[in-house]
A and B are shown apart, each in its own frame.
Chain A
Amino acid sequence: MADLRQFCTFFLDDRFFGVDVEKVQEVIRYQVITPVPLAPPVVRGLINLRGQIVTAIDLRRLLQVEERQDGRLPINIVFQTWQGIFSLLVDRIGDVLEVDQSIFERPPDTLEGIARELIQGTYKLQGRLLLLLNVEKLFSLAILNRQRRAASH
């Protein structure tokens, strides 16, 4: 029997990412974001999720990918994590994929910096690579605050 896992997938430009589907609470279209002055830059702001205030994290800024060029609005992927509820802002949402563990490989040694900490590995799909993100780590204070320090220098 193949060891299958389900991933919620999404894109930043054509970078293809996946997260454990279990962690995803829901995917919602763009919501008006209230920016939080003086916050770490990865925090885009706050959104109102049916009366609950959710912190929105910009994945581009987190992975130090340049800002989006096409001027379109991001999508919220809402995560339920140990650290609480977060929304991750991504460009576009993909399908839920069922992937066999056998095509998993650890990230190459050339991967550096924050990306190395957040990308657990890749699934070698046909024609493209699916990058697996470590959700719990992504929303940890250490990671979010690191960006603040980096920004203040």
Chain B
Amino acid sequence: MDEIIKEFLTESLEGLDQLDTKFVALEQNPNDRDTLASIFRTVHTIKGTCGFLGFGHLEKLTHAGENLLSLLRDGRLRFTQDMASALLAMLDAVRTMLVEVERTEGDGEEGYTGLIETLHYLKESGGVSPTPPAPAPPAESEPAAPPTPASLPESKPAAPPAAISLPPGPAPEPFLTILATLSEPAPKSTPPPKPAPAPPERPAAPPAPPSAGSSTIADSSIRVDVPLLDKLMNLVGELVLARNQILEYTLLQENPQLQAASQRLNLITSELQEGIMRTRMQPINNIWAKFPRVVRDLAVSCGKQVRVDMEGKETELDKSLIEAMKDPLTHLVRNAVDHGVELPAVRRSAGKPEEGCLLMRAYHEGGQVHIEISDDGAGINPVKLRNKALEKGLITLERAAAMSDQDLRRLIFLAGFSTAEKITNISGRGVGMDVVKTNIEKIGGVIDLESELGRGSIFKIRIPLTLAIVPALIITSGGERFAIPQVNLLELIRINEEQRGAAIEYVHSNPVYRLRGKLLPIVHLNRELELTPGRSNAVNIVVLQAGQHQFGLVVDQINDTQEIVVKPLDKVLQDVPVFAGATIMGDGRVALILDVLGIAQQARILNSSHDHNVGAQQLETRDQDGERQTLLLVRSPGNGRLAIPLAPVSRLEEFPADQVESAGEVDVIQYRGQILPLIRLQDILGERRTLDRLAHAEPDVPASNLLEVIVFGDGARRVGLAVDEIIDIVQGIFEIKGRSTRHSVAGTLVIQGRVTELFDVQGFLSQVEPLLAMAEEA
């Protein structure tokens, strides 16, 4: 059953139970306005909700009751016996309908017209006197006004309303009797309460089988305060900690009974933890349920046709996360309708059905909740985004040129970005996708998008199941322990002492590690946190995912994984962006939880002003299609630009210029216990007689006394190419635009808006082959 309806039922049935008590109180003190007001509120709430849910009959009836109650509450009418009867009859009718709702998700055929009229009459007549005649007419009228207009008199049964037709009769006593009768569900289905003169058309028993037994919603669920759940969650957190402590100590003990007991404790705690976590879980439909309406209204106001499809409505996640996802999801949905789906005419001409489709999917995978919002609209045009970003000065021309379409699309997440051509009142109200992204990241989630022009876009969100207890990797750095949430963890790399020298390489003083052919930016935790490095023989790299970026975090030691309880930090520490919170370890000491995104920001992995090509993107040497390349941009003699494919490059090094020695006619440098022949770029490039070249006739001397050396080959067969300056590393699909004009140049390309020569690595290597041989001999 729909979660909203379930909630409505629970709430309403509870409200009704209270009403019974309140009517009793009212009977003793008919002028108690507070009680009247509270009855009014309950009825009003039920009316409001069922109106919203589309239970028309229920709404009409409660509305009639509400009208009467409002006059009573305001003191404009006096509470009479008849009113009590009528209102109680209404309560019963409402109960019957609720049972019907629970059974069929509809409020039944019964319209209770008679009862409504009675209520109306009482309101109009002022419920004048407790004398029988007054309420009689409506009672009489009941048979005449059958429940549903469709069927006349004898059609529908009117079991509960029967009660209202009972003659007010002998004063106070019947009130209690009725109450007693009415408050039991059973009589409703069976013949009317005895004091009632059964209306003629009574015969058929109502279809509703409200047998008291079986577990109805009212019985099988209870409402619990969220703060209480929070408290339980905290306590379970404490228990998990205590369990961890006990497990730790037990390991040191030899006592098998103690070990058995602690194992059991371990299991029970885990189950309890899971159970408590589940109490806080809610289906995502709790926020999704409103979207069809939102989309409909929005679509109508934009003149579009949009259908909403949902998959995985029942996917559950923690209540606090549900709350946190509400706004970001609403924004994405609105965006999809406003900017994604095209106008019907446009769609038609594009050969698509006029009705656009918004698909919302949710599912669990890998301990995370995945949410996808996709539309089959126009897609996101990377060129448009690029132009917009350039226009707003969010990126530089050079950077834009080096960005892939996917990177360009991700610009949408930059602050201060809004591409809607005209500002609508729907989106474009200053809250952009950057806010969506920030909000999602705040709860430890990530968002990405895929889009195809003309085919639509898909936003993919991953968020953790819960925030309170998370599995984490415990590491040590600078003598302190830190926890890294496993959500961010990709893999662990350990480099032995012997290899450590070669493992971390440098791209223009930025450390990188070669991970399966890709260059992984390296961040030293000790350095970022200004810690004194501890002693460690090996290099431990924790490969982490921060948003769309990966980086390797070098730590002193990797300990183990643990479930940790996340505790927030004090405000004064919330300015320190690298920590997400703290936790208490098995030994009772506090350990800080690293905020992977914060560290990436601190280390400028995510910073756009940083040389993003090194840090931000996966430097793939060769993509699947073989077209994408990573090129090293260097300054060539004469202030030109030369691109060197990065794939054959083994290392980038810097040497002090005075370390260069000569062996015969060749410059060499001592490098890792070997002699590395050194070729200067200007020597290898074929002479090019241009005016430009002539103007700069004097040889290019390195400005600094450091030599940038690109090392090719491996082992003993290495050769170094000395260049003046490494400018950048770019990635993309490059097309050779011009033919080669000189030696060692394979052709010319345009990179970052500038003509760049492509270095012919093969030609170069074959040219220096004799030198390699020389080094081998040496």
Chain A residues with CB under 8 Å of chain B are 32, 34-40, 43, 45-48, 51-53, 55, 83-84, 86, 141, 144-145, 148
For A85, give the chain B residue with the smallest CB separation: B570
Question: Does residue B267 face the partner (Cβ distance < 8 Å to A)?
Answer: no
Encoded as 1 (CB less than 8 Å from any A CB) or 0, chain B from 203 to 214 comes to 000000000000
A53 touches B590 (CB 8 A): yes
Residues of B within 8 A of A32 (CB): 588-589
Residues of A within 8 A of B530 (CB): 37-38
For A45, give the chain B residue with the smallest CB separation: B590
Residues of B within 8 A of A148 (CB): 575
Question: Does residue B689 face the partner (Cβ distance < 8 Å to A)?
Answer: no
B571 touches A84 (CB 8 A): yes
Question: Does residue B663 face the partner (Cβ distance < 8 Å to A)?
Answer: no
CA separation between A52 and B241, bound complex, in Å?
12
Question: Does residue B567 face the partner (Cβ distance < 8 Å to A)?
Answer: yes
Set A48, A55, A83: member contacting B573, Cβ < 8 A: A55
CA separation between A47 and B592, bound complex, in Å?
11
Question: Does residue B163 face the partner (Cβ distance < 8 Å to A)?
Answer: no
- Between-chain CB contacts (< 8 Å), 30 pairs: A32-B589, A34-B582, A34-B589, A34-B591, A34-B592, A36-B576, A37-B478, A37-B529, A37-B530, A38-B529, A38-B578, A39-B572, A40-B572, A43-B573, A45-B590, A46-B569, A46-B590, A46-B592, A48-B588, A48-B589, A51-B238, A51-B241, A51-B584, A53-B584, A55-B569, A55-B572, A83-B571, A84-B571, A144-B572, A148-B575
Question: Does residue B175 face the partner (Cβ distance < 8 Å to A)?
Answer: no
B589 touches A145 (CB 8 A): no
- Total A-B residue pairs with C-beta atoms closer than 8 Å? 65
A145 touches B572 (CB 8 A): yes
Question: Does residue B531 face the partner (Cβ distance < 8 Å to A)?
Answer: yes
Question: Does residue B413 face the partner (Cβ distance < 8 Å to A)?
Answer: no
Residues of B within 8 A of A47 (CB): 590
Shortest beta-carbon distance from A123 to chain B in Å: 29
Residues of B within 8 A of A53 (CB): 567, 569, 582, 584, 590
Across chains A and B, which 8 residue pairs bring their CB atoms closest together, nearest first? A37-B529, A34-B590, A55-B570, A46-B590, A144-B572, A53-B567, A38-B576, A53-B582
Shortest beta-carbon distance from B230 to chain A in Å: 15
Question: Does residue B513 face the partner (Cβ distance < 8 Å to A)?
Answer: no
A-side interface mostly: mixed
User: Among residues 558 to 582 in chain B, which have CB atoms less than 8 Å away from a CB atom of chain A?
Assistant: 567, 569-573, 575-576, 578-579, 582
User: Among residues 638 to 673 in chain B, which have CB atoms less than 8 Å away from a CB atom of chain A?
Assistant: none
Residues of B within 8 A of A43 (CB): 572-573
Question: Does residue B480 face the partner (Cβ distance < 8 Å to A)?
Answer: yes
Tell me whether A48 and B578 are in contact in the complex, defined as CB-CB below 8 angstroms, given that A37-B530, A39-B573, A145-B572 are known contacts: no
Residues of B within 8 A of A144 (CB): 572
B579 touches A36 (CB 8 A): yes
CA separation between A46 and B482, bound complex, in Å?
13
B570 touches A34 (CB 8 A): no
Residues of A within 8 A of B571 (CB): 83-84, 141
For B572, give the chain A residue with the smallest CB separation: A144
CA separation between A53 and B588, bound complex, in Å?
11
Shortest beta-carbon distance from A73 to chain B in Å: 15
Encoded as 1 (CB less than 8 Å from any A CB) or 0, chain B from 614 to 643 comes to 000000000000000000000000000000
Shortest beta-carbon distance from B6 to chain A in Å: 36
Encoded as 1 (CB less than 8 Å from any A CB) or 0, chain B from 583 to 611 comes to 01000111110000000000000000000
CA separation between A14 and B123, bound complex, in Å?
82
Encoded as 1 (CB less than 8 Å from any A CB) or 0, chain B from 271 to 287 comes to 00000000000000000
Residues of B within 8 A of A46 (CB): 569, 582, 590, 592
Residues of A within 8 A of B531 (CB): 37
Residues of B within 8 A of A40 (CB): 572
14 further contact pairs, Cβ within 8 A, besides A34-B480, A39-B576 = A34-B582, A37-B529, A37-B531, A38-B576, A39-B572, A43-B572, A43-B573, A48-B584, A48-B589, A51-B238, A52-B567, A53-B567, A53-B590, A86-B570
CA separation between A120 and B305, bound complex, in Å?
68
CA separation between A32 and B570, bound complex, in Å?
18
For A52, give the chain B residue with the smallest CB separation: B567
User: Among residues 504 to 542 in chain B, which have CB atoms less than 8 Å away from a CB atom of chain A?
Assistant: 529-531
CA separation between A86 and B238, bound complex, in Å?
20
The winner among A32, A43, A51, A86 for most chain B CB atoms within 10 A is A51
A36 touches B573 (CB 8 A): yes
CA separation between A144 and B478, bound complex, in Å?
25
Residues of A within 8 A of B569 (CB): 36, 46, 53, 55
Residues of B within 8 A of A86 (CB): 570
Residues of A within 8 A of B573 (CB): 36, 39, 43, 55
User: Among residues 141 to 179 in chain B, which have CB atoms less than 8 Å away from a CB atom of chain A?
Assistant: none
CA separation between A148 and B480, bound complex, in Å?
22
Tell me whether A48 and B575 are in contact in the complex, defined as CB-CB below 8 angstroms, given that A38-B529, A55-B570 are known contacts: no
Residues of B within 8 A of A83 (CB): 570-571
Shortest beta-carbon distance from A96 to chain B in Å: 27
CA separation between A51 and B586, bound complex, in Å?
11
Residues of B within 8 A of A48 (CB): 584, 588-590
A84 touches B590 (CB 8 A): no
Residues of B within 8 A of A51 (CB): 238, 241, 584
CA separation between A42 and B559, bound complex, in Å?
30
Residues of A within 8 A of B579 (CB): 36
Set A36, A84, A141, A145: member contacting B592, Cβ < 8 A: A36
Residues of B within 8 A of A39 (CB): 572-573, 576
Residues of A within 8 A of B529 (CB): 37-38
CA separation between A48 and B592, bound complex, in Å?
12
The winner among B567, B569, B572, B590 for most chain A CB atoms within 10 A is B572
Shortest beta-carbon distance from B577 to chain A in Å: 9
The winner among A34, A83, A86 for most chain B CB atoms within 10 A is A34
Residues of A within 8 A of B480 (CB): 34-35, 37
A84 touches B589 (CB 8 A): no
CA separation between A141 and B531, bound complex, in Å?
25
Residues of A within 8 A of B238 (CB): 51
For B478, give the chain A residue with the smallest CB separation: A37
Residues of B within 8 A of A38 (CB): 529-530, 576, 578
Residues of B within 8 A of A84 (CB): 570-571
Encoded as 1 (CB less than 8 Å from any A CB) or 0, chain B from 230 to 262 comes to 000000001001000000000000000000000
CA separation between A135 and B478, bound complex, in Å?
33
CA separation between A68 and B590, bound complex, in Å?
24
CA separation between A38 and B588, bound complex, in Å?
23
Residues of B within 8 A of A52 (CB): 567
For A148, give the chain B residue with the smallest CB separation: B575
CA separation between A145 and B572, bound complex, in Å?
7
Set B572, B582, B590: member contacting A141, Cβ < 8 A: B572
Residues of B within 8 A of A145 (CB): 572, 575
Shortest beta-carbon distance from B145 to chain A in Å: 64
